[in-house]
Structure 1
Amino acid sequence: MTPPSNDDLGFSHRTRKNGDVELLHHGKLAGTLRGAAAQDFLAEVHDGSPADAQQLMARLTGNYKHGNERTAAGHPRNRR
């Protein structure tokens, strides 16, 4: 498993014996990469910083902010 970093978003990963990569979010399985996708992921994580790895895992699992959270807060149905 990957060690936590200063820019920790709660993601980690582990490689299985068969080459699959499991992406974990706060210790729970968030996604699995197989084949070429797993190898590409491992190469990118190896070459990048821990913060970049966190962002990559967030994008791959779909668990990231989309940029519209601030505008959505001002929508009439969300104001209370």
Structure 2
Amino acid sequence: MLRVQRIVYHTSTEIRSELAWIESLITEDIVVTPRPVADGEGRLLSQIVLNGSPRYRRTIFRILQAFPQRKTQFVIGGE
């Protein structure tokens, strides 16, 4: 999945903070979410340059594969 952000909308620091938070959610097994993917130079965030000027930032996320839902049994009442 490709996400494109306008340069003026969020700073690189804000986006990197969000990417670190997503990695933390994945590492701590809090939620299943697409993992950010680094580009060929190891960057999770890079610029898109148009006409010699940076216009956008981009991040790529790995697409999640579908998996069967876990069956959960709830016990009400204690026994």
Considering the TM-score relative to the shorter chain, is it more than 0.5?
no
**Of Structure 1 and Structure 2, which has the larger fraction of its residues in helix?**
1
Select the structure with the greater relative contact order (CA < 8 A; seq sep ≥ 6): 2
Q: What's the TM-score bracket when you normalise by the shorter of the two chains?
A: under 0.3
**Of Structure 1 and Structure 2, which has the larger fraction of its residues in strand?**
2
Larger radius of gyration: 2
